[in-house]
A and B are shown apart, each in its own frame.
Chain A
Amino acid sequence: MNNCLFCGEYLVIEVTWATFLWRAPSFIICSNCEEQLVYSKSPDAIYFHNEFMNDVIHQYKFQQDLRVAHFFAASIRKAIKKRKYDVVIPIPMHPKKEIERTFAHVETVLKFANIPFQTVLQKDTEEQQSKKSKKEREQVAQFFSLISGASMRGKKIILIDDVMTTGKTMSLARQLLMDAGAEKVEILTFISGQM
Chain B
Amino acid sequence: MLKLQRRLLLPQKVSPHLFDHKLQAFLVGRIWIAEKMPFHPDTITYHIHAHFIEQFQGITEKNSCRRCGSQNLQKFDCSQCKGSCSYCLDCIIMGRISRCTKLLRWVGPPIHIQLKSPIMTWQGTLTPSQKMVADEAVRHEKDHLIHAVTGAGKTEILFPISEDALLKNQRICVTTPRTDVVLELSPRFQKAFEKIQVQSYYGGSEFYKEYSPLIIATTHQLLRFEAAFDVIIVDEADAFPYTFDEKLRQAVKKAKKASGRTILVTATPTKLERTRFSQRKCYSFIARRFHGKDLPVPKFDSLWQYDRQFNQGIIPRKLRNWLIKCVSENKPFLVFFPSVKLMMVALPLIQKIEHSILAVHASDPNRKESVQALRDGKVCGLLTTTILERGITIFNLQVAVVGAENRIFDHAALIQISGRVGRSKDAPSGDLIFFHDGLTRQMDFAVSEIKRLNRL
Report A's interface with B, CB cutoff 8 A.
63-67, 98-104, 108
Chain A residues whose CB sits within 8 angstroms of the CB of B78 once the complex forms: 102-103
The bracket for how many chain B residues form the interface is 10 to 19
Q: A66-B74, A67-B74 are in contact. Are A102 and B80 (CB under 8 A)?
A: yes
State in angstroms the CA–CA spacing of A103 and B87 once bound together.
Answer: 13
State in angstroms the CA–CA spacing of A101 and B81 once bound together.
Answer: 11
Are B79 and A98 in touch, CB under 8 angstroms? yes
Chain B residues whose CB sits within 8 angstroms of the CB of A104 once the complex forms: 79
Chain A residues whose CB sits within 8 angstroms of the CB of B74 once the complex forms: 65-67
Known: A64-B87, A65-B92, A65-B96. 12 other contacts (CB 8 A): A63-B96, A64-B96, A65-B74, A65-B89, A67-B74, A98-B79, A99-B80, A102-B79, A103-B77, A103-B78, A103-B79, A108-B77
Q: Which of B13-59 contact A (CB under 8 A)?
A: none
Are B92 and A102 in touch, CB under 8 angstroms? no
Chain A residues whose CB sits within 8 angstroms of the CB of B80 once the complex forms: 99-100, 102
Are B85 and A63 in touch, CB under 8 angstroms? no
- Would you mind naming 11 contact pairs between A and B with Cβ atoms under 8 Å apart? A63-B96, A64-B98, A65-B89, A65-B92, A66-B74, A66-B87, A100-B80, A102-B79, A102-B80, A103-B77, A108-B77
- 7 closest A-B pairs by beta carbon, nearest first, are A64-B96, A102-B80, A66-B76, A102-B78, A98-B79, A99-B80, A99-B79
B430 to chain A, nearest CB (A): 35
B210 to chain A, nearest CB (A): 27
A64 to chain B, nearest CB (A): 5
Chain B residues whose CB sits within 8 angstroms of the CB of A66 once the complex forms: 74, 76, 87
State in angstroms the CA–CA spacing of A104 and B89 once bound together.
Answer: 19
State in angstroms the CA–CA spacing of A35 and B92 once bound together.
Answer: 25
Smallest CB gap from B82: residue in A: A99
Chain A residues whose CB sits within 8 angstroms of the CB of B93 once the complex forms: 63
B327 CB-CB contact with A under 8 Å: no
A83 to chain B, nearest CB (A): 27
Chain A residues whose CB sits within 8 angstroms of the CB of B100 once the complex forms: 102
Q: Which of B74-116 contact A (CB under 8 A)?
A: 74, 76-81, 85, 87, 89, 92-93, 96, 98, 100
B192 to chain A, nearest CB (A): 36
A55 to chain B, nearest CB (A): 12
State in angstroms the CA–CA spacing of A67 and B77 once bound together.
Answer: 12
State in angstroms the CA–CA spacing of A99 and B89 once bound together.
Answer: 20
State in angstroms the CA–CA spacing of A101 and B93 once bound together.
Answer: 16
A122 to chain B, nearest CB (A): 15
State in angstroms the CA–CA spacing of A11 and B96 once bound together.
Answer: 24
Chain B residues whose CB sits within 8 angstroms of the CB of A67 once the complex forms: 74, 89
State in angstroms the CA–CA spacing of A67 and B87 once bound together.
Answer: 11
State in angstroms the CA–CA spacing of A104 and B76 once bound together.
Answer: 12
State in angstroms the CA–CA spacing of A98 and B77 once bound together.
Answer: 12
Smallest CB gap from A67: residue in B: B74
A9 to chain B, nearest CB (A): 10
State in angstroms the CA–CA spacing of A66 and B89 once bound together.
Answer: 10
Smallest CB gap from B93: residue in A: A63
Are B92 and A63 in touch, CB under 8 angstroms? yes
State in angstroms the CA–CA spacing of A64 and B93 once bound together.
Answer: 10
Chain B residues whose CB sits within 8 angstroms of the CB of A98 once the complex forms: 79
State in angstroms the CA–CA spacing of A104 and B79 once bound together.
Answer: 8
Smallest CB gap from B363: residue in A: A7
State in angstroms the CA–CA spacing of A105 and B272 once bound together.
Answer: 50
Smallest CB gap from A104: residue in B: B79
Smallest CB gap from A64: residue in B: B96
State in angstroms the CA–CA spacing of A64 and B36 once bound together.
Answer: 15
Chain A residues whose CB sits within 8 angstroms of the CB of B89 once the complex forms: 65, 67
Chain A residues whose CB sits within 8 angstroms of the CB of B98 once the complex forms: 64, 102
State in angstroms the CA–CA spacing of A103 and B93 once bound together.
Answer: 18
Chain A residues whose CB sits within 8 angstroms of the CB of B85 once the complex forms: 102
Smallest CB gap from A8: residue in B: B93
Smallest CB gap from A3: residue in B: B89
Are A103 and B76 in touch, CB under 8 angstroms? yes
B42 to chain A, nearest CB (A): 19
Chain B residues whose CB sits within 8 angstroms of the CB of A64 once the complex forms: 87, 92, 96, 98
Chain B residues whose CB sits within 8 angstroms of the CB of A108 once the complex forms: 77
B199 to chain A, nearest CB (A): 24
B99 to chain A, nearest CB (A): 10
Chain B residues whose CB sits within 8 angstroms of the CB of A103 once the complex forms: 76-79
B75 to chain A, nearest CB (A): 9
State in angstroms the CA–CA spacing of A63 and B79 once bound together.
Answer: 16
Smallest CB gap from A97: residue in B: B79
State in angstroms the CA–CA spacing of A65 and B76 once bound together.
Answer: 10
Smallest CB gap from B100: residue in A: A102
State in angstroms the CA–CA spacing of A183 and B77 once bound together.
Answer: 34
Chain B residues whose CB sits within 8 angstroms of the CB of A101 once the complex forms: 79
Smallest CB gap from B101: residue in A: A102
Smallest CB gap from B99: residue in A: A102
State in angstroms the CA–CA spacing of A66 and B77 once bound together.
Answer: 10
A60 to chain B, nearest CB (A): 11
State in angstroms the CA–CA spacing of A89 and B79 once bound together.
Answer: 19
Chain A residues whose CB sits within 8 angstroms of the CB of B79 once the complex forms: 98-99, 101-104
Q: Which of B350-396 contact A (CB under 8 A)?
A: none
